[in-house]
Amino acid sequence: MTLAAMGLAGMGLLGSLLVTSAGEASAANHQPQSSVNGNVAEARAVIASEKAAPASMIPAGSPMAAIKKQGYLIYGGALDAPLLSQENPANGDVEGFDADMGKLLAKYITGKPDIKVVSAETTTREALLENHTVNVVLETYTITAERARVVNFAGPYLADGVSIAVKKGVKNIVSFANLAGKTVIAGADTPAIPLIEKMAPTAKIITFATDPDCIQALIDGRGAAYVQDYVTLAGDAVAGEPISIVGRQVNDGYLGIGVPKNQPTMVTFVNNWLKLIEKNGQWAGIWKATFGTVEAGGAPTPPTVGTVPGVPSSLLG
């Protein structure tokens, strides 16, 4: 298993807002070089290398022009996901792969890496986009045909896979076959649910709204195992949760950036930006500064933008 295959169900408390800038000098002066979310200084350097988009790419009246006018990017994301998107209590900044991708996109649109995070649950992401509460959802948002009928997706920007977590010390669960007849924990409205139903049809599934709730339920013994995207579980383990990740990743999927359904120009813009940061090395730089701090080897090859197996291209933009 590698962190190159990853995904995350949405976490956090709906409505919680956080304004943060990757370029605040005061925060930089007190920012540790490394944290549970990776090498923060290295990530800042990558973000600093991003250039703003040419004015010709942000036409008047476009969603991008509206974001540029407001001066920061508002996105649905997590505030409690190590390695992905977690608030640093020391300075209020949000750190991790998804947070840094948000800062890169914000800088490309506005010229500044300023973001406002609306913390979202898996059951509210579509509503946040439909109501235009956020500009995008950037929360390791797995692309499915069902979701793509409700919102647009730019990307994919990352591949994912699902794994099993057990309490540290548990030895009798090493695969999905061992979940038969057991109570299994999953995040509400996540791809883990149909996967458990397929791989262990006699398992009893209980769900919780957030990853911390699922982890606590596992620790408390309310379930024998917790099935979730690998990177989420890896972040939990890095944060010191008493869990072990077992079995191989299955159900490879692809993560996209959610965009309101009525904004196809925004999808095209973000797709072109993704291709640009992959070409120029910022994508790999952010990966190395976050996941690369806990996994040996170089950055993986990102998935091809605009193509998701099993999802018609007509639904992606």
pLDDT digits (tens, 9 = 90+) for 63-118: 999 999 999 999 999 998 888 899 998 889 999 999 999 999 999 999 999 999 99
Q: Is the pLDDT of residue 255 over 50?
A: yes
Average pLDDT, integer, range 229-238: 81
Average pLDDT, integer, range 39-58: 96
Please, where are the H alpha helices in the chain? 25-30, 40-48, 63-70, 97-110, 125-130, 145-148, 192-199, 211-220, 230-238, 264-280, 282-289
CA 1 to CA 12: how far, in whole Å? 27
Tokens standing for residue 146 = 């069902």
- The predicted structure's pLDDT at residue 126: 95
CA 201 to CA 66: how far, in whole Å? 48
- The predicted structure's pLDDT at residue 31: 40
Q: What is the set of domains in the chain, with CATH numbers?
A: 17-159+254-301 (3.40.190.10), 161-252 (3.40.190.10)
Q: Give the count of alpha carbons within 13 A of 292, CB side only.
A: 15
- The predicted structure's pLDDT at residue 120: 83
pLDDT band at 139 (very low <50, low <70, confident <90, very high): confident
Q: Is the pLDDT of residue 10 over 50?
A: no
Closest residue by Cα to residue 132 from 11, 13, 256, 258? 258
- The predicted structure's pLDDT at residue 296: 64
Straight-line distance from the first to the last Cα atom of the chain, in angstroms, rounded to the nearest whole number = 31
List the single range of 99-103, 129-133, 248-252 with lowest mean pLDDT: 248-252
CA 125 to CA 262: how far, in whole Å? 16
pLDDT band at 23 (very low <50, low <70, confident <90, very high): very low
Q: Is the pLDDT of residue 5 over 50?
A: no
What's the mean pLDDT when you consider all of the chain? 86
Q: Is pLDDT larger for residue 298 or for residue 249?
A: 298
pLDDT band at 295 (very low <50, low <70, confident <90, very high): low
SS3 content of the chain, % helix, strand, coil (to 5): 35, 25, 40
Q: Is the pLDDT of residue 6 over 70?
A: no
List the single range of 168-177, 216-225, 276-285 with lowest mean pLDDT: 168-177
Tokens standing for residue 203 = 């398992």
- The predicted structure's pLDDT at residue 8: 34
Question: 77: helix, coil or strand?
Answer: strand
- The predicted structure's pLDDT at residue 231: 77
Distances (CA, A) of 9 to 138, 241, 260: 11, 18, 19
pLDDT band at 140 (very low <50, low <70, confident <90, very high): confident
Please state whether 189 falls in left (phi above 0), alpha (psi between -120 and 50) or beta.
left
CA 238 to CA 95: how far, in whole Å? 14
pTM for the predicted model, two decimal places? 0.74
Question: Hey, how many other C-beta atoms are within 10 angstroms of the C-beta on 216?
Answer: 14
Q: Is pLDDT larger for residue 27 or for residue 282?
A: 282
Tokens standing for residue 65 = 């022009």
Closest residue by Cα to residue 17 from 81, 74, 66, 68? 74
Q: Is the pLDDT of residue 9 over 50?
A: no
- The predicted structure's pLDDT at residue 162: 87
Burial (Cβ within 10 Å: 0-12, 13-18, ≥19) of residue 310: exposed
